[in-house]
A and B are shown apart, each in its own frame.
Chain A
Amino acid sequence: MTTLIDSSNRPWKVRDKSYQAQQLLVHAGTPLAAVAVVALTGIKGMSGLFFTWLFLHLITGALLARFGKRRYSIANSSLQVLMVACITVFVTAALSVLIPVFVKGISAFSSNLLFQDAALVEPGAELTTGGILHALIGSIIIVSIASVISIPVGILAALYVTEVRGKLTPYVRFFVQAMSGVPSIVAGLFVYAAFIVTGILPYSGLSGAIALSILMLPTVARTAEEVLLLVPDDLRTAALALGSTQRRVVRMIVLPSAGAGLVTAAILGVARVAGETAPLLLTAFGSVSINLNPAAEPMSALPLFIFTQMLLGEDNDVARAWFACMVLLTFVTVLFGVARLGLSRRKMG
């Protein structure tokens, strides 16, 4: 038997007739008015309808909130509508980036795209020839090398700032923040000028990785610092009071407590640079065939591949670029998802 909930047991429900009329006016009246305005005036389209309705809703709500009954309830519902409207605008923008990428990417799909390189592909060639494998492998190699450089250095910098708290702490913090403002093309130019022009390194995956590591380092260091600051000071004090050296405090207490968060810091760093194009233009340079050696010969990467394919301009080339976009976007989204999951677990635990 279902339990009947007597509405009289919920005294907070409003049963005021004039208030209900006001609510009806706001929630049902304004859409109708918006439809009428769109039909009678020059305003056109769905977005026209949406913004007309939003405008009318907010005006009505504001007037009722000023002069009507139960002002706070009306103000409350108007603000809710405003918030939902803002969220709608934001989500629409995000979806209008995501949906075309996936629609165009999937429509270009052909299995060879994932398993072949572009060595034999003429501009405008059919989608059934060649693929993005060289770019995918290049991305993985370059990002891996950048991670090997940046993750340990970034975490050590964060440990210096949060645990050692030495004399250089403010300078380390300052440089990390300054580095996070470096435009990505400048990182590429730096490696070009310092390593490639001087002949220390050729155009290669390694050069590209160094450029990316410059961008990755501040992300890793700042996220790791925040995560390490979440470790309660009580635990450090307790460990020191048990006769621990600082090194053991870090190794046995701080790092295990911050573990999941540090993984997140590393993932966010990877996601930050996986889609970078500019720093690779002058360093990895790009190629059309698979190159497994990061120390010699140019290497391709997904963002570079997308850039060059788009420039070719033929329909099939552009379609290949969209497919590469989809692969890159999927990769970065999955990384961010994993990182989010790690962070939320961290907070619960």
Chain B
Amino acid sequence: MTETLVRDSLENGLVHLEAKDINVWFSSKHVIENISLQFPENSVTALIGPSGCGKSTFIRTLNRMHELIPGAQLSGEVLFNGNNIYGPAVDPISVRLGIGMVFQKPNPFPTMTIRENVLSGLKLSGRRARDEDSIVESCLTRSSLWTEVRDRLDSSAGALSGGQQQRLCIARSLALNPEVLLMDEPCSALDPSSTRRIEATIRELSESMTIVIVTHNMQQAQRVSDQTAFFLAEENQPGFVVEFGPTDSLFSAPNDPRTEDYVNGRFG
């Protein structure tokens, strides 16, 4: 997806997911301040910034995983297809079905086989699949794991390598057909070749879904994303967005000197 298309979709109102004035507290500690970002349909958005600036906290507010942490508080709105996911009548479970999530550490269910892991989302959300075999095959194909595991679908997921486990987790999320996929540093525990495969998967998936990815790797942000948000937090201050815009211009011609310093590796 090119930058102009992202801009077009932004201008034409095709915003798929939008965070409006998000503030987050843990007990009394203010950790995120007034973050507003727009995620156009079928775009990839990278969230970059040094550790502890609230990127992971922010991404968890986008599918209501944030509220599971004791002491968590939040103000602001997250609009998903125009509806506030924090609205009083909204069931968090339906939000998480539409907005999937992949975590930093690969976390397949160790008591289940590869096949059961792919189908686990359907079982856990209490839905019955019509054609389980085709779901397993299509999800594993989309997460580019199918050719590696097609012959051992009934073996334990624990025997896979870290990169394969992460792609299995992606497949597990895809089985629920989410419109948005949130990825919290999906490659930070993986080696370069696994990382490359996951990045290829991200690019393929972005043809049909909106992706938000937290990453510490600036090259990765440049490789996979259409737009980038740079987060920063002063010591003991809440995190905020310094700069948000198309990835190319944010990296080549940043508006803010702090962004320039960060993307050129002068701190962080």
Contacts and interface: CB of A to CB of B under 8 A. Distances in A.
Contacts of A252: 120, 123-124
Interface stretch (A176-184, A190-198, A233-241, A299-307): A233-241
A116 B110 CA distance: 50
Interface string A102-140: 000000000000000000000000000000000000000
A242 B124 CA distance: 7
A45 interface: no
Nearest to B126: A248
A256 B111 contact: yes
Contacts of B101: 241
Contacts of B172: 238, 242
Given A256-B111, A257-B111, A238 B96 contact: no
Contact of B109 (A165, A238, A243): A238
Contacts, number: 68
Contacts of B96: 240-243
A243 B176 contact: yes
Contact of B100 (A241, A244, A253, A256): A241
A249 B93 CA distance: 12
Interface of B: 63, 65, 68, 70, 93-94, 96-97, 100-101, 103, 105, 107, 109-111, 120-121, 123-126, 169, 172-173, 176
B109 A253 contact: yes
B247 to A, nearest CB: 26
Contact of B121 (A243, A257, A349): A243
20 contacts: A165-B70, A234-B103, A234-B105, A235-B110, A237-B65, A238-B107, A238-B109, A241-B96, A241-B173, A242-B100, A243-B96, A243-B121, A243-B176, A244-B124, A245-B126, A248-B124, A252-B124, A256-B111, A257-B110, A349-B110
A249 B121 CA distance: 11
Interface in A297-349: 349
B107 A242 contact: no
Contacts of B126: 245, 248
Interface residues on A, range: 20 to 34
Given A241-B63, A253-B111, 7 more contacts: A234-B107, A237-B103, A240-B68, A242-B172, A243-B96, A248-B124, A248-B126
Contacts of B97: 243
Interface of A: 165, 232, 234-235, 237-245, 248-249, 252-253, 256-257, 349
Given A243-B93, A245-B93, A238 B103 contact: yes
Contacts of B120: 239, 242, 252
Contacts of B100: 241-242
Nearest to A259: B111
A237 B97 CA distance: 14
A234 B169 CA distance: 12
B168 to A, nearest CB: 11
A78 to B, nearest CB: 44
A245 B100 CA distance: 15
B169 to A, nearest CB: 7
B110 A238 contact: no
Contacts of A234: 103, 105, 107
Contacts of A235: 107, 109-110
Contacts of B111: 253, 256-257
A238 B171 CA distance: 13
From A243, A249, A252, A256, residue with most partner B Cβ within 10 Å: A243
Contact of B107 (A165, A237, A245): A237
A170 to B, nearest CB: 13
A242 B111 CA distance: 17
Nearest to B127: A243
A245 B126 CA distance: 9
A77 to B, nearest CB: 42
